[in-house]
Structure 1
Amino acid sequence: MYRLLKSISWICCKLPRSAAEVLGHMLGAVCWPLVPKRRKKLAFDQIKRCLGVSDAKARRIARASFVRFGPMLVEVLRFPMIAKHIEDYVRIEGLKKLQAGLSEGKGCVIAAAHSGNWELMGGAFAQAGIPLVGVAKKQKDSGADRFINEYRTMIGMHITYKTGVREMFRMMGKGWAIGLIMDQDPSRHDGIVIDFFGQPTNCPTGAASMARFADVPIFTSCMHRDEHGMHTLIVDGPFRVGHTKDKHADIRAMTQFLTHAIEEHIRRYPEEWFWLHDRWKSMRE
């Protein structure tokens, strides 16, 4: 798998950008009919329940949400090329806020979501001089895991797995930013139930918990891709977790705040969020 992905990456890097864009969209469109009907219905139902749109629009958003993975995958495969010309692919709004937050030398937490090309998001921060630790989930296939982490490192990120909490705190103490994706459903034994799209939703508390424990600021980070393939990375903050006697209330309040920020971005760019993820699975359990 590793050698196969490296070979495909080499081919994608040889393509002109316009051809790579076409290839990405074609790949997503061709694979959409292969998505199980059960997963399509899940996405459709979640979109209807969250956004209250018509059936036709819900189906369009569901399809677009999946098809975008084609261009996203091709962009990851083209990291060796993109890393040399990152300014042609990503512009960052609010970078100075993040730089100011890191100037204290204590590090920070970046709370992000599965919206836009979140893999490229970490690379854009790293290429802009932000010392970023990307927190990753280990892939089942060892070759695929080796490939994606090699490419994440190539574009400037330091990668640690979700189990590497001690390493995260150690790196943050050295002034690094810890990037956490916080919009997926944790297990029913983890997380905290708060409001998301007007529904009780189990949400991970890692960003708020880490920031409170280390007394560092939190920044939100959302990404949007326009029709020309240019990404806008929007940074906001700094935000501080409360330090009252009620630690759980402090963490709950910040997690709710961050979740609402993610919701606002999704409402603005609904086609770019990962609607095929079973976001309310643990609530049903």
Structure 2
Amino acid sequence: MKDRLVYAAYASGWAVLRHLPEPAARGLFDRIADFAWRRRGKRVLQLEANLRRVRPGLDEAGLRELSRAGMRSYMRYWMESFRLSVWSRERVARDVRVEGFEQLRAAMESGRGALVALPHMGNWDLAGAWVALEGYPFTTVAERLEPEKLFDRFVAFRESLGMEVLALTGGGVNVVGTLARRLREGKLVCLVGDRDLSEAGIEVTFFGEATRMPAGPAALCQRTGAALLPVSLWYDGPLLRARIHPEVPVPAEGDRREKTQAMTQAMAQIWERGIREHPEDWHMLQRFWLADLPVRATVDGAALPAAAGHPADPARPAPAGEPAAEASGP
């Protein structure tokens, strides 16, 4: 019964929002964002704890105003995603601006393939639709959503935009192997890579504190020779802007894990600059830094930070972890 109610709520919202006038839909989601912000629930408080690392000089009033803008940006993502299926090609082309696209085009035309890695910023579904319309369909990964019928609907929606969506778990498919195969075929893979959903993540320094990020993007590019291209996203009035940064190269020295750590740290530094410039568009409402995570006891009694096990937002692309041939998890 609960699954049926969840699906009915999403399906009804999807149907209604697709046909609302744009100003009405935007106003509705701004009100939802403001209502959640005023309630100061766990997610809003965690968003503020995260933003405090990004803008440590803000006073409490400034932090509150930033978190309000962050909630509005987060709900804008959902509003646009619900309505994206009825946007025309012309609307997508008009509302997305991408800097550095020549770097992606060069990597694809060389036959190497490319892995685009991005943080939870802006609207990556909209950016993905733009990339697909430019002639580059791609493969991504989504955390499985319950109920199954709702997950299937999200997948069908993304596939209609030109994405191949692999379920992170329970799909009967070797996710990492499939991603590696697509890259070796010279194709494009897009992964959200700023939050680790496993215990195989790489520890990096981010805004001066330790956290873990997925090893998958860097490890896959080492394994396949594909170009690793970090991306930043942000809103600029009615526009979604994206910046494709220069390729993160594989270091010449070090073992496989050392190279993966160096590449992941390089991406973290690039995303740090983008988030510092546009903190309201970083949709991180979960515990993120190791200092905020609960501890778990190891066999020998030592205390270690627990993995970031908070589920991703429904059907948002989830990061791949270490390749199965190199570690125990995907």
TM-score with structure 2 length normalisation? 0.79
Establish whether residue 254 from structure 1 lines up as the match of residue 263 from structure 2.
Answer: yes
| SS in structure 2 at match of 1:115 | coil
For structure 1, which runs of at least 5 residues remain unmatched after alignment? none
CA deviations over 1:52-82 (Å, ceiling 9, x no partner): 1221122222222223222211111112222
Establish whether residue 10 from structure 1 lines up as the match of residue 15 from structure 2.
Answer: yes
Aligned to 1:230: 239
Aligned to 2:272: 263
Alpha-carbon spacing, 1:45–1:79, altered in 2? closer, same or farther (3 Å): closer
Alpha-carbon spacing, 1:141–1:64, altered in 2? closer, same or farther (3 Å): farther
CA deviations over 1:228-262 (Å, ceiling 9, x no partner): x2111211222321243522221111110000111
Aligned length in residues? 282
**Letter of the aligned partner of 1:44 in structure 2?**
E
| SS in structure 1 at match of 2:87 | helix
Which of 65, 76, 81 aligns to 1:76? It is 81
Aligned to 1:272: 281
Aligned to 1:209: 219
Matches within 5 A, 1:147-226: 147-163=153-169, 164-187=175-198, 189-226=199-236
For structure 2, which runs of at least 5 residues remain unmatched after alignment? 1-5, 170-174, 295-303, 307-330
Given that 1:48 and 1:55 are in contact with CA atoms closer than 8 Å, whether structure 2 keeps it comes out as no
Name whichever structure is richer in helix by fraction: 1
Structure 1 segments (4+ residues) deviating >6 Å: none
Given that 1:186 and 1:202 are in contact with CA atoms closer than 8 Å, whether structure 2 keeps it comes out as no
The Cα RMSD (Å) is 2.1
Percent of paired sites with the same residue: 25
Which of 82, 85, 91 aligns to 2:97? It is 91
TM-aligned CA deviation for residue 6 of structure 1: 3.9
CA distance in structure 1 between the aligned counterparts of 2:28 and 2:231, rounded to whole angstroms: 28
Aligned to 1:108: 114
Alpha-carbon spacing, 1:195–1:23, altered in 2? closer, same or farther (3 Å): same
TM-aligned CA deviation for residue 144 of structure 1: 2.4
Which of 117, 125, 137 aligns to 2:123? It is 117
CA distance in structure 2 between the aligned counterparts of 1:56 and 1:92, rounded to whole angstroms: 33
Alpha-carbon spacing, 1:138–1:10, altered in 2? closer, same or farther (3 Å): same
TM-aligned CA deviation for residue 171 of structure 1: 1.7
CA distance in structure 1 between the aligned counterparts of 2:164 and 2:283, rounded to whole angstroms: 24
Alpha-carbon spacing, 1:5–1:276, altered in 2? closer, same or farther (3 Å): closer
TM-aligned CA deviation for residue 179 of structure 1: 0.9
TM-aligned CA deviation for residue 39 of structure 1: 3.4
Which of 46, 53, 56 aligns to 1:49? It is 53
CA distance in structure 2 between the aligned counterparts of 1:190 and 1:173, rounded to whole angstroms: 23
